[in-house]
Amino acid sequence: MFKQLQDMALFAMVAECGSFTGAAKRAGLPKSSVSQRISQLEQALGLRLINRTTRQLNLTFAGERYLVHCREMLQASERAAMTIDRLRDNPSGRLRITSPAGIGATLLARFNAAFQKAWPDVMLEVSVSDEVRDIVQEGYDIALRTGQPQDSSLIGRRVGYTQRLLVASPGYLAGYEALTHPLQLAEHRCIAHQVWNEWALRKGDEYYRWQLPPVHTTDNLLYARECALAGAGITLLPEMLAKEMLAAGKLVEVLQEWKALGSELWLVYQSRKLNSPALVRFVDFALESEIFQEFYR
């Protein structure tokens, strides 16, 4: 069938040029090959399409009727090519995105608002959850992840890095002695994210690791932040989730001389090749975004 479609295009070219020679030049084929393929097409159809003389070519009645459909096929091909060109210039369609809750409800929300202003024809379907999704099995186009992807079949683009801070509300801390060493954490109530249930802290060359007791755990950093704001204890947050609350005095950084390991933000998707124009624009926009640069350096 594919060869017949090619031969239909070649037949339309012969009819337009009025000769095998002209069609051969346009197609970049030997004249004998063009003549042979038109003959094979006629044999496949069981009808003569062209009457050949030594001086000219004339379409038969069947050839004239067949030419109409050949031209329709070529026009459809041209329209398809134009559609792809327009997609490259003005991406559209749907992007399915998955993101951790803390990033999705803050940073990604701001970024997507800016992205859709730039590319309004792209539809976004966003899943905000701290459950790590399988982007291949679940059909997501792209994921935001904290940490470099371990799956070698996926492409990862590093967007930035953020510090993580131990924070609590002033009201909660008022009931305790000032924290000067991580050993004192054992005396406190702490809200732990299930992924960061061990807090690794560093002060110069001194390291301290504390395995949190399972007194209060969560899979959502926004929940942990709200608990800290409500005076439930100390929690570990990315700086981007704590920055505004710290500036407003609603949260206070504890053990400021002891620094927790930070976290990286990555864009993860399936392939570098033949990605949709919408996905290409999303990745490029993210890598250049001032929103990511400001909050996730």
- Burial call 182-207: b when 16+ CB within 10 Å, e when fewer: beebeeebbbbbeebeebebeeeeee
Domains of the chain plus CATH, in order, are 2-89 (1.10.10.10), 93-162+264-295 (3.40.190.10), 164-261 (3.40.190.290)
CB atoms within 10 A of CB 164: 21
Residue 13 has pLDDT above 80, yes or no: yes
Whole-angstrom distance, CA of residue 276 vs CA of residue 87: 9
Q: How confident is the model at residue 234 (pLDDT cuts 50, 70, 90)?
A: very high
- Please report the pLDDT score of residue 169 as a whole number: 96
Q: Comparing C-alpha atoms, which of 108, 215, 221, 236 is closest to residue 168?
A: 236
Please give the residue that has the higher pLDDT: either 287 or 231: 231
Give the distance, in angstroms, between the CA of residue 175 and the centroid of all CA atoms in the same chain.
Answer: 46
Using one digit for the tens of pLDDT, what is the confidence trace for 97-147? 999 888 888 889 999 999 999 889 899 999 988 788 888 888 899 999 887
Long-range contacts of 219-226 (CB under 8 A, 24+ apart): 219/130, 219/131, 219/193, 219/194, 219/195, 220/101, 220/102, 220/130, 220/193, 221/100, 221/101, 221/102, 221/130, 221/193, 222/101, 222/102, 222/105, 224/191, 224/192, 224/193, 225/102, 225/251
Residue 274 has pLDDT above 70, yes or no: no
Q: What is the mean pLDDT of residues 257-276?
A: 83
Counting residues of the chain whose pLDDT is more than 90, the rounded percentage is 33
Please give the residue that has the higher pLDDT: either 31 or 1: 31
Pairing of strands 155-162, 198-203: unpaired
- Please report the pLDDT score of residue 1 as a whole number: 67
Using one digit for the tens of pLDDT, what is the confidence trace for 190-225? 999 887 878 999 998 899 998 888 889 998 888 999
Residue 68 has pLDDT above 80, yes or no: yes
- Please report the pLDDT score of residue 293 as a whole number: 77
Q: How high is the mean pLDDT of the chain?
A: 87
Cβ distance 49 to 42 under 8 Å? yes
Q: What is the mean pLDDT of residues 158-174?
A: 92
Residue 175 has pLDDT above 80, yes or no: yes
Using one digit for the tens of pLDDT, what is the confidence trace for 19-64? 888 888 888 889 888 889 989 989 988 989 998 876 778 899 989 8
Q: Which two tokens stand for residue 44?
A: 């496949």
| Residue 284 CA: distances (Å) to CA of 41, 149, 159, 273 | 47, 19, 11, 15
- Please report the pLDDT score of residue 34 as a whole number: 86
Using one digit for the tens of pLDDT, what is the confidence trace for 237-257? 988 889 899 999 999 999 999
Whole-angstrom distance, CA of residue 233 vs CA of residue 169: 8
- Please report the pLDDT score of residue 106 as a whole number: 83
Cβ distance 191 to 221 under 8 Å? no
- Please report the pLDDT score of residue 172 as a whole number: 96
